[in-house]
């Protein structure tokens, strides 16, 4: 073991021996990239099938706290990018990972994060094939930031996109909403919230493959991350030129999440998720799709929450328990008070 330090210093970013040791021991040894060159060299057989398309995406991850019940920033960095690929209908293949590390970050923490990434990548069937590290002075970052990019392949015949959405489509989610956002808030020890909640963080590649197999007519899918289900539905409704109505009584919400939201005054529809997606499919394929989703652990809580309507284009409403319909808007920023 060449790496003796317990904390990252500026020397670990200096390009010399310390950096080499950190990369070799903390990152490369775990991710096991195939070559020694500065770039990954990848077999493209999957891409050569007629009609197949390359999918390519990138995402950056910052989260406080870095470790929380149900995962850590490493889990997010893999799942987030895998899910971006998956909801487009792609089979995720390869990832890159770049780390911005704050001087003073504990190396043990880095090891735990990297282990999470490796485990999550293995589950998702993707390989982390290239990476980078930079060390910045104390105060210039919050311990560690991660950027991942991902490449996958969309097989011939898979045509997912919001443009496919039609009025009448069933709107389906794969499980309870808001667990991630609520768990993160609860994990901030300063809020004095004692609830037993874990992040929903999960890779959804396999689930999407199962969905496509069961419902070939699937129109569109999107992961509900920052901004929650509300923001995902608003984007999709606007882009598709349809309205979406969801039913309050059908929303899958854990009582703990409802409780945290009540105290904090937050709307669970806007809470972040990291293992949740929303799917639009023709109504007649909804039962098959739901069955397929429920056959996998990450879709066990799948449920139809509403449907697409002809218009007004871009409007998302929540049908409440008493029968009224409330506008679920895309917010400009945070949830600001609106009651005068």
Partner 1 sequence: MSAGQFIRVRGQVQGVGFRPFVWQLAREMGLTGRVWNDPGGVGIEVWGEDIDAFAAALRARAPLLARVDAVEAGPLDGPAPPGFAILESRGQGAETRVTPDAATCPDCAAEIRSPGRRQGYAFTNCTHCGPRFSILRCLPYDRAQTTMAAFPMCPDCRADYENPADRRFHAQPVACPACGPRLWYEVAGDKKPGDPVAQAVAELRRGGVVAVKGLGGFHLACDAANPQALALLRARKHRPAKPFALMAAEAALHGIAALTPADLALLRDPAAPVVLVASRAVLPDAVAPGMACLGVMLPYTPLHHLLLHAFGGVLVMTSGNLSGEPQVVGNAEARDKLAAFADGFLMHDRDIARRLDDSVERAAPPMVLRRARGRVPGVLPLPPGFPDRQVLATGGQMKGAICLVKNGQALLGHHLGDLTDALSVDEFHKALVDYAALFDHRPTLAACDLHPDFVATRAAQATGLPLVRVQHHHAHLAACLGENLWPLEGGPVAGIVLDGLGLGPDGTVWGGELLLGDYTGFDRAAHLRPAALPGGDAASRQPWRNAVMRLDQAGLAPLADRLFAGQPVAALRAMAAGGVNAPLSSSAGRLFDAVAACLGLAAAAQSHEGEAAMRLEALAGPPGQGYPFGPGLDPAPMFRALAQDLADGVPPATISARFHDGLAAAFAAPARDLVAQGRAWAVALSGGCLQNARLHHALLAALDGVPVLTHRTTPANDGGLAFGQALVALAQGAG
Is residue 67 a contact residue for partner 1 (CB under 8 A)? no
Which listed residue (63, 76, 78, 84) binds Mg ion by CB under 5 A?
Answer: 84
Answer yes or no whether residue 255 interacts with partner 1 by CB under 8 A.
no
Closest CA to 90 of 43, 64, 56, 113: 56
8-state DSSP, 28:
I
Nearer to partner 1, 62 or 325 (CB): 325
59 binds Mg ion (CB under 5 A): yes
Q: Taking CB positions, which residue lies at the least distance from Fe ion?
A: 340
Q: Which of 107, 128, 266, 308 binds partner 1 (CB under 8 A)?
A: 266
- Dist CA 261 CA 279 (whole Å): 25
Nearest residue to 54 (alpha-carbon basis) of 92, 81, 87: 92
Tell me if 327 contacts Fe ion by CB under 5 A.
Answer: no
Q: Which of residues 192-221 bind partner 1 (CB under 8 A)?
A: 192-193
Shortest Cβ distance from residue 95 to partner 1 (Å)?
33
Min separation Cβ 261 and partner 1, Å: 9
**Ranges within 136-195 binding partner 1 (CB under 8 A):** 185, 188, 190-193
- Residue 337 interacts, among partner 1, Mg ion, Fe ion, none and using kind-specific CB cut-offs from 5 to 8 Å, with partner 1
Give the total of residues touching Mg ion (CB under 5 A): 2
Q: Which is nearer to Mg ion, 81 or 317 (CB)?
A: 81
Contacts of 301 (CB under 8 A, 6+ apart): 174, 175, 176, 252, 294
Distances (CA, A) of 190 to 2, 65, 163, 184, 265: 38, 11, 44, 12, 17
Establish if 103 lies at the interface with Mg ion (CB under 5 A): no
Q: Residue 43 or 340: which CB sits closer to Fe ion?
A: 340
The reply on whether position 274 binds Mg ion by CB under 5 A is: no
Q: Give min distance, CB of 74 to Fe ion, in A.
A: 47
| Separation between Cα atoms, residue 231 and residue 233, nearest integer Å | 5
Q: What tokens appear for 236 in the block?
A: 């999709």
DSSP letters along 283-311, please? GGGHHHHHHHHHTSGGGTT-EEEEEEES-
Query: If binding is defined by CB under 5 A, does position 43 make contact with Fe ion?
Result: no
C-alpha radius of gyration, the chain, whole number: 21
340 binding Fe ion? (CB under 5 A): yes
Kindly report the CA angle at 163 between 160 and 165, in degrees rounded to 5?
80
Q: Does 336 bind Fe ion (CB under 5 A)?
A: no
Report the alpha-carbon distance of residue 154 to residue 325 in Å, rounded.
38
- Residues numbered 268-327 forming contacts with partner 1, rule: CB under 8 A: 315, 317, 320, 322-327
Binding site for partner 1 (CB under 8 A): 185, 188, 190-193, 262-266, 315, 317, 320, 322-327, 329, 331-340
């Amino acid at each position: 073991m060449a790496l003796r330090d317990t904390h990252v210093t500026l020397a670990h970013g200096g390009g010399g021996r310390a950096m080499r040791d950190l990369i070799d021991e903390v990152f490369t040894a775990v991710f096991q990239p195939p070559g020694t060159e500065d770039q990954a060299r990848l077999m493209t057989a999957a891409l050569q099938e007629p009609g197949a398309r390359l999918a390519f995406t990138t995402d950056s991850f910052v989260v406080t706290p870095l470790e929380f019940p149900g995962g850590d920033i490493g889990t997010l960095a893999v799942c987030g990018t895998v899910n971006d690929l998956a909801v487009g209908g792609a089979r995720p293949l390869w990832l890159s990972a770049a780390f911005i590390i704050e001087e003073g970050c504990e190396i043990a923490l880095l090891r735990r994060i990297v282990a999470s990434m490796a485990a999550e990548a293995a589950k998702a069937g993707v390989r982390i094939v290239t990476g980078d590290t930079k060390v910045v002075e104390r105060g210039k970052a919050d311990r560690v930031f991660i950027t991942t990019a991902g490449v996958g392949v969309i097989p011939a015949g898979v045509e997912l996109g919001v443009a496919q959405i039609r009025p009448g489509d069933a709107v389906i989610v794969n499980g309870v909403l808001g667990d991630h956002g609520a768990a993160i808030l609860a994990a901030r020890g300063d809020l004095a919230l004692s609830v037993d909640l874990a992040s929903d963080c999960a890779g959804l590649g396999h689930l999407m493959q199962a969905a496509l197999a069961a419902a070939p007519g699937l129109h569109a899918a999107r992961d509900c991350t920052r901004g929650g289900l509300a923001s995902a539905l608003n984007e999709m409704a606007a882009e598709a030129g349809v309205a979406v109505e969801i039913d309050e009584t059908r929303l899958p919400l854990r009582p703990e999440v409802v409780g945290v939201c009540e105290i904090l005054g937050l709307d669970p529809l806007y809470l972040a998720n990291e293992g949740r997606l929303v799917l639009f499919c023709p109504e007649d394929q909804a039962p098959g799709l739901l069955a397929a989703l429920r056959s996998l652990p990450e879709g066990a809580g799948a449920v139809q929450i509403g449907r697409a309507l002809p218009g007004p284009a871009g409007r998302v409403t929540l049908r409440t328990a008493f029968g009224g319909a409330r506008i679920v808007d895309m917010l400009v920023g945070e949830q600001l008070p609106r009651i005068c």
